[in-house]
């Protein structure tokens, strides 16, 4: 029997936003992208969640209405039990909407076949450079052509694959090439603004200019998402281009709070990637009460640090 906090009416929300749990199963990564916030976990480490931890997190999450899970890292595929974890989520707990964020470097035809057999719903691959010796802004990794081949293999086997591309160094020509390739191959692309701790009064002008250039170049029809007020474009072929500006920089914490609940590889609920004082341990007891506290702190700006 779960003991519900007698003060539960204090909490403004009692469910996880968008019903989505974003779980960093491992803090380490085989790449070192310069811009990576590592889900707010700080430096890369060997920390990882055990299968029993993930099961405890799922059981708890279901009490707060989750219907979606996304595995992140670090790099999820360096976790030694990655396929057991996927089966746990997809087969045992029957999470219908389930995806993974990855850099794609560890995906082989064999692993892609396994993912197909488990019927994973969505794979998002980070891909920043259209033609480079390393596909992302890292000093190590695989080439752009190798990652494109991985994406082709995922598509060919019938799995849903998306591209997440960080807009780097105002390199619009590189981005145009990536967008054109995605549209040609009917792959949804998410274009991301860099996240850091700076505070600005409005969305970055360079990012807005980039949206205008991409929109004009590909004759996109623009709209906005209902939940988070993000701009997206639809090509006449039906391909979609999503533009994600940094909510952190403009402190749109109220919109960020509608996205998901983040769980770190230490087993902590982390409502804000820029704060450490609002992390709440949800493993090993008091998970229900601590998840309530985490949900209550969604949208709590970094400036509200507890002294």
Residue boundaries of the structural domains of the chain: 8-298
Taking only the tens place, the pLDDT of each residue in 210-242 is 999 999 999 999 999 877 778 999 999 999 999
Its pTM stands at 0.92
CATH class of 8-298: alpha beta
Query: What pLDDT, on a 0 to 100 scale, did the predictor assign at position 9?
Result: 46
User: For the chain, what percent of residues have pLDDT higher than 90?
Assistant: 74
Buried b (16+ CB within 10 A) or exposed e, 260-272: bbbbbbbbbbbbb
* Beta partners for residue 77, in sequence order: none
Is pLDDT of 199 > 50? yes
H helices present in the chain, as ranges = 51-63, 82-87, 109-118, 144-157, 172-184, 205-217, 253-256, 287-296
Q: Average pLDDT, stretch 107-128?
A: 95
Cβ 121 vs Cβ 89: under 8 Å: no
pLDDT confidence band for 13 (50 / 70 / 90): low
pLDDT confidence band for 15 (50 / 70 / 90): confident
Query: What pLDDT, on a 0 to 100 scale, did the predictor assign at position 27?
Result: 95
What integer best gives the mean pLDDT of the chain? 91
């Amino acid at each position: 029997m779960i003991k519900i906090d007698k003060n539960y009416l204090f909490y403004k929300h009692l469910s996880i936003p968008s019903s989505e749990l974003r779980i960093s199963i491992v803090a380490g990564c085989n790449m070192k992208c310069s811009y990576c916030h590592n889900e707010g976990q700080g430096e890369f480490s060997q920390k990882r969640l055990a299968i029993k931890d993930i099961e405890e997190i799922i059981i708890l999450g279901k009490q707060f209405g989750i219907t979606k899970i996304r595995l992140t890292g670090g790099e999820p595929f360096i976790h030694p039990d990655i396929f057991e974890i996927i089966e746990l989520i997809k087969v045992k707990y029957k999470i219908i909407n389930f995806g993974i964020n990855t850099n794609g470097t560890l995906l082989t035809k064999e692993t892609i076949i396994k993912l197909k057999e488990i019927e994973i719903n969505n794979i998002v691959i980070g891909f920043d450079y259209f033609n480079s010796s390393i596909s992302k802004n890292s000093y190590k990794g695989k080439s752009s052509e190798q990652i494109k081949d991985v994406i082709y293999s995922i598509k060919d086997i019938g799995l849903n694959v998306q591209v997440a591309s960080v807009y780097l160094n105002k390199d619009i020509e590189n981005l145009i090439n990536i967008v054109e390739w995605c549209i040609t191959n009917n792959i949804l692309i998410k274009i991301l603004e860099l996240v850091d701790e700076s505070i600005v009064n409005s969305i970055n002008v360079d990012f807005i200019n980039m949206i205008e250039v991409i929109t004009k170049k590909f004759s996109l029809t623009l709209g906005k998402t209902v939940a988070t007020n993000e701009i997206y474009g639809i090509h006449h072929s039906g391909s979609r281009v999503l533009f994600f500006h940094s909510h952190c920089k403009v402190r749109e914490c109220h919109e960020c709070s509608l996205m998901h609940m983040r769980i770190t590889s230490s087993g902590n609920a982390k409502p804000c990637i820029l704060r450490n004082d609002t992390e709440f341990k949800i493993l090993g007891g008091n998970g229900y009460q601590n998840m309530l506290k985490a949900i209550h702190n969604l949208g709590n700006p970094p400036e509200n640090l507890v002294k």
